[in-house]
Amino acid sequence: MKNPVLVTGGCGFVGRHLIKYLLNRGESVWVVDNLFTGWHPDKWLLEFEKTMEPEYSVYKKGGQELVFIEKDALDFFLDQLKSRSQIKLPEFSDVFHLASIVGGRLLIDGDPVLVATDFAIDSLFFVWATRNKDKISRIMYASSSAAYPVNLQSKEKHIALPEEVISFGGNLGQPDMTYGWSKLSGEYLSTLAAKHYGLHVACVRPFSGYGEDQDLTYPVPAIAARIAKRENPITVWGTGEQGRDFVYIDDCVEAMFVVLDKISDGSGVNIGTGELRSFNEIIKILAKIEGYNPTIKQLLDKPVGVQSRYADPKKIYSLGWKPKVSLEEGMSRVLEMAKKRI
Ligand SMILES: NC(=O)c1ccc[n+]([C@@H]2O[C@H](COP(=O)([O-])OP(=O)(O)OC[C@H]3O[C@@H](n4cnc5c(N)ncnc54)[C@H](O)[C@@H]3O)[C@@H](O)[C@H]2O)c1
């Protein structure tokens, strides 16, 4: 029988989509999540039969199986390392390390020291992984476009960010707050895990992943919720001219598998389309789908992050990935869900 897949942070937005994909292709999955922002599997593994063990719960449906360990990744990896856990882990095929304090702009800018917990999560993860390298086939580390230097994303000077802008042993630049620093250091640990310890590691740098079930602290579902209520004027944080590279969540998950199959040296690959779209454009697209024409009201006291963040997608395209869901189609799916939520 094939070894299961481990997903840390599997109850979050990306994790839930990734896990559905894995379960559908017949993998059994182990999840470690403390539900900091994640949803309890009872809410999204509907129609699964649940059994409770002292240290974890098991969800089963047909041939599908998921083991859920509700625990802080810090405690989980430390307990494993100090041999004080009751849970005997199996050997894992793939390990997707997603657990991270992410949050929207308010958290990234507002509580940067809390977000710095991510350094500790990643360090313990890689200590555990390198001590258990014979029991793991491959690792995918979820980095972020926030690892890129902010001075290449300003109003005056912005470029479609190519992977080589981050070069260990060369230039690194200044990433976006502690969140970006932790992703940069996580990428460095990934290269060490590959080069010094012989592990198969791939890093992905997703740009702005979005989808129907994303938390309302993120801009796309938050704007869609306001459009669904047909608010007029409609508010936007900052001038609304800040731009991002939006990737629909299913495309994002597919890209992760493509990267994991092709990259093993710990290097990072963008998950982005190369299209820079402003929040004002997103409002216009959503309002057009909804069939009204609201005035946009700027909230200039809100945190907005960098001005223009978008990928150079050459590398991921060369690996064989292209987005399948257009921005208009993705936004209409988000809006449909937003209408159901109100
Ligand atoms: N969504 C995107 O567009 C995007 C973009 C760039 C990078 N990423 C990266 O992808 C990963 C997943 O992001 P997401 O959007 O699903 O975020 P999310 O907040 O929805 O998911 C993160 C998950 O990690 C869990 N978690 C947080 N701290 C934990 C801890 N100490 N122990 C155990 N679990 C913990 C949360 O409960 C949550 O389920 C993150 O590493 C994030 O940095 C996502």
HEC-encoded secondary structure of the chain: CCCCEEEECCCCHHHHHHHHHHHHCCCCEEEEECCCCCCCHHHHCCCCEEEECCCCEEEEECCEEEEEEECCHHHHHHHHHCCCCCCCCCCEEEEEECCCCCCCHHHHHHCHHHHCHHHHHHHHHHHHHHHCHHHEEEEEEECCHHHCCHHHECCCCECEECHHHCCCCCCCCCCCHHHHHHHHHHHHHHHHHHHCCCCEEEEEEECEEECCCCCCCCHHHHHHHHHHCCCCCEEEEECCCCEECEEEHHHHHHHHHHHHHHCCEEEEEEECCCCCEEHHHHHHHHHHHHCCCCCEEEECCCCCCCCECEECCHHHHHCCCCCCCCHHHHHHHHHHHHHHHC
Q: pLDDT means per 10 residues in the chain (342 residues)? A: 94 98 96 97 96 97 95 98 95 98 90 97 98 98 98 96 96 96 98 98 98 91 95 94 97 98 98 97 97 95 93 98 97 95 82
Question: In this predicted structure, what is the pLDDT of residue 125?
Answer: 98
Kindly give the distance from the C-alpha atom of residue 103 to the centroid of ligand 1, in angstroms, as a whole number: 8
Which atom, in ligand 1's list, is nearest to the CA of 143? 7
Question: In this predicted structure, what is the pLDDT of residue 105?
Answer: 86
Kindly give the distance from the C-alpha atom of residue 239 to the centroid of ligand 1, in angstroms, as a whole number: 27
Which of 14, 78, 118 gets mutated to test ligand 1 (max ligand atoms within 8 A of its CB)? 14
Kindly give the distance from the C-alpha atom of residue 148 to the centroid of ligand 1, in angstroms, as a whole number: 18
Question: In this predicted structure, what is the pLDDT of residue 341?
Answer: 84
Which of 6, 8, 13, 316 gets mutated to test ligand 1 (max ligand atoms within 8 A of its CB)? 13
Question: In this predicted structure, what is the pLDDT of residue 217?
Answer: 84
Kindly give the distance from the C-alpha atom of residue 68 to the centroid of ligand 1, in angstroms, as a whole number: 16
Output the pTM of the full model.
Answer: 0.97
Which of 35, 102, 245, 247 gets mutated to test ligand 1 (max ligand atoms within 8 A of its CB)? 102
Question: In this predicted structure, what is the pLDDT of residue 240?
Answer: 95
Question: In this predicted structure, what is the pLDDT of residue 1?
Answer: 74
